[in-house]
Structure 1
């Protein structure tokens, strides 16, 4: 009971960080933050993870004159802005809280879907579905991912995994919903219905996702942030090895989300089932994000990150040997399982080596901004590679994605060793 009282006291404006006894690691208010984050990621990341469905539809119906690489820029710019927005929105969360981002972000997100419903030219999709969607998605992403470490410590992996599982569940549901709606009501009303559903789910999340610690006043710290802790964090070799690892992971990880349906069609799978592979991938990701988060709390977050990256690399290389509908389906589910775990562990690893949670938004934001390079270029590069004549047993994008994932594995292993060189430890 005394711990709960001290935790409640932390949310008063005049309380200093010195009174902080640490995250409550549970309780109804903490799990309500997780619930709000689950709703948020179901909508935002769920729709972003469903871009493979849009890519197939755009290429076949709306923009058949555009090549795959050009269409893939729509999804890549979404990802780039999601990650790059961390430079602005992470520090805003640290200094201003969540609502200043969540309320306008919710409005702009729904508006982006409504405006996309009116698009019929490539540049219009770039403006509405890439730029506006990506910026608003980022405004909702950073308050959510930064609030969880405020409320959880020993159960941080489970909490983060549960939140991110919302994006996987959204990635399962949205492709199926969108495919059905496209057939029943057409493209414009499909996007409008998605916009209305987004508003319904994001509205309660606005009230649920809040930081535990109050923002610092500018008079207390430089720009509202503890400057000494920021400098120490940015000088930490462990942090930059983690950032480099996640950059290469992101560079390769999202490529199959856009190109597995196309690869399946090329290998004789009917297009209807090929599109549903996006949902199967996200089903694996749903399981992986929760299970990996829970296991990471016991076995170590860095240990699990290295393991997930290595297995994901191996699975990508297996695309050289699989050609049947059943083996492609098995790959898709298993890849979702391991890559989903990486998304859970990305911010959890940074939180583990961040000494002051009042800088967590900034530290995660910088990492995500660096990762935006991979998010922006990975899929378009693969689009160009996919247009090359087949010279081996798999499209060239498979080798590119595998190489990036393996490089990420190496850097994450180096980060893990720099945190604790004793390999038997749960790190």
Structure 2
């Protein structure tokens, strides 16, 4: 399946080649082709020239597109779909180290420590350890770097929550990253502290985590980083994904573009800048400028800011208090004036904002109205990533401002967490999907993987 299939199939039905157009060099025949065209949803064959689809329809009509030496591929009745676009992904080099094998998504902290000891016993001398755990373990009061230090024998250890927003690291990792015992919080993130002190506990949240893991990933050898990109592409292709939009938190923009050039990708990539600075700072610290199209299958476009957390750790910024933990409203990553500065930057370069809670979404909408309203923003198609808290009273304003919502189906698997976090009346309105389409708000889907 060619990478341009989605756009072409969405607009083509039965078509005949104009007499002046070059002939097709590949025919896909005897298939069940889903076109995504309501008037002609199914076809039998596709004609392709180079990287473009030139006809979709019945076999006899498509055969007329053939040139000399055309290659014919008999699909044997197999289904062909448009190539899927993953509108929200996080790709990059895997963290180095021996994996920590935990059972399930939400192991207890005791289970995690046991797995750390087991991994440390099997790892090379002095080698680092890495693992993915849940909020149950990371929110345990005993979850500190001292506990990791003891279990791992002083090795470097990085634990990341499966949400991607929180982590816990050992003392060796903090030292290697130049993070002191009483370091101040970085822009957009914060460190955990030992109770009643300013001493860092080893917990890292939001941008504090991403700044550290970006540094670690930047040290992965180029050959391994290329293999990791290839592994992602092969997995994506097995799901029918032919293009991916990467929220480039793993590496600085210039470094990720260089990595893709080395990897010579087979998917189409959109690289989205993910700054680690305060939005009002003039320099985004993403390295030298890169071309909009540095290689044939790579486009560099857009800037992403993460404005709040997730419901899992009760940090999606809400207007109504959480049911559990009671009395909390969540937490924004930036001050309101910094959010305004982030939105003000969204001019010619597309703007993408992680905004989950209804309070932060309302703040985004108010800022857009303050900075020009519909006339300014509707053509710019600002994207809200996730948008779980786009409540009914905010939908019309979002539609008029031209907001696009990118949701992640994986988020629908945590209904038990949401039912615990939110009061029933809030839960009933949380995570809209079909209602957004009905209201005329453009909607896309991404893996968030």
Q: Give the structure with the larger helix fraction.
A: 1
TM-score, normalising length: structure 2: 0.23
Higher relative contact order by CA 8 Å / sep ≥ 6: 1 or 2?
1
Larger radius of gyration: 2
* TM-score, normalised with respect to structure 1: 0.24
Structure whose residues are more often strand by fraction: 2
